[in-house]
């Protein structure tokens, strides 16, 4: 899967900038269609395994949902903007049901207290939250080129980001004590299934699992940095993946930390109103 989606990165510039003749462009378009199908399947827009005779309607509907989540014009057509969006670095967690979760969250803004209480109970039954407020974590390893104290500081700050706006508290567990949440850097296939194999620089930067598995995995081949301007800012990706380990799905709100695509560390607050609503829905 990672190899097929990776081909999209190599073929896209040729199609965008006219570097293919007509016959090769037609062949390239067919290949891009297949790789777009693989991308949509990987990230939850084609719910079942892609059949050989995938209908145009089903493919178009999947594109529409992807375009909605990605804040693109909703056309159902595999256009240049949609192809470019598929090549952007992002979280490896699927976007499944992000639209439905976001719609419920927005509806809760206009609901009364009783309706919100009922919604919390329904959400809790899904088993996608921790049933305690004090959680431990462990940094299993870290990028070799970054100093350990600085990485540990980024991890503490990423957890603090979520505890600042919720009833959660986090503490770093010593090596002799089991931890609720474990943060680990891996390379390539790391026994998570082929769909979760890391693909080198770009593409999927990291992925995580909902409670109570408590694991977040990061691609060791990325150019991780603690800078605002160089490489992939580790603090931002840590904070996003920690959100998943707490039970948060992806958000279609463009400024949200839990939006699926990588965002640079800027001067504005990292958490958006939608991130705060999501974590408070689960933990108060």
Distance of CA 106 to the CA centre of its chain: 20
The answer to whether residues 241 and 247 touch, using CB atoms and an 8 Å cutoff, is: no
Where are the strands (E) in 98-252, listed by range?
134-139, 169-172, 181-186, 204-208, 215-219, 224-225, 232-233
**CB-side neighbour CA atoms (13 Å) of 107:** 12
Here the tokens at position 203 are 């593409």
Q: Active site includes 35?
A: no
- Which of these, 212, 201, 51, 60, lies nearest to 130 by C-alpha position? 212
CA distance 281 to 89: 28
Between β-strands 90-91 and 224-225, what pairing exists: parallel, antiparallel or unpaired?
unpaired
Enumerate the active-site residues. 241
């Amino acid at each position: 899967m990672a190899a097929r989606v990776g081909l999209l990165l190599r073929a896209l510039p040729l199609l965008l900038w006219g570097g293919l003749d007509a016959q090769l462009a037609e062949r390239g378009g067919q290949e891009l269609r297949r790789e777009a199908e693989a991308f949509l399947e990987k990230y939850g827009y084609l719910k079942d395994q892609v059949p050989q005779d995938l209908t145009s309607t089903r493919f178009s509907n999947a594109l529409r949902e992807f375009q909605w989540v990605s804040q693109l014009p909703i056309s159902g057509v595999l256009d240049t903007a949609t192809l470019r969006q598929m090549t952007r670095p992002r979280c490896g967690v699927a976007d499944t049901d992000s639209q439905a979760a976001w719609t419920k969250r927005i509806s809760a803004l206009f609901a009364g207290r009783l309706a919100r209480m009922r919604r919390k109970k329904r959400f809790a039954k899904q088993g996608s939250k921790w049933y305690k407020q004090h959680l431990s974590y462990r940094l299993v390893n870290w990028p070799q080129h970054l100093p350990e104290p600085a990485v540990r500081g980024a991890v503490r700050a990423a957890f603090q980001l979520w505890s600042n706006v919720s009833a959660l508290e986090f503490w770093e567990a010593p090596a002799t004590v089991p931890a609720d949440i474990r943060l680990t850097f891996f390379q390539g296939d790391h026994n998570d299934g082929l769909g979760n194999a890391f693909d080198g620089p770009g593409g999927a930067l990291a992925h995580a699992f909902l409670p109570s598995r408590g694991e977040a995995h990061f691609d060791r081949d990325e150019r991780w940095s603690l800078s605002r301007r160089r490489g992939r800012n580790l603090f931002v990706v840590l904070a996003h993946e920690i959100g998943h380990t707490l039970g948060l799905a992806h958000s279609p709100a463009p400024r949200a930390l839990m939006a699926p695509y990588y965002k640079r560390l800027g001067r504005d607050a990292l958490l958006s109103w939608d991130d705060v609503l999501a974590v408070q829905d689960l933990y108060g």
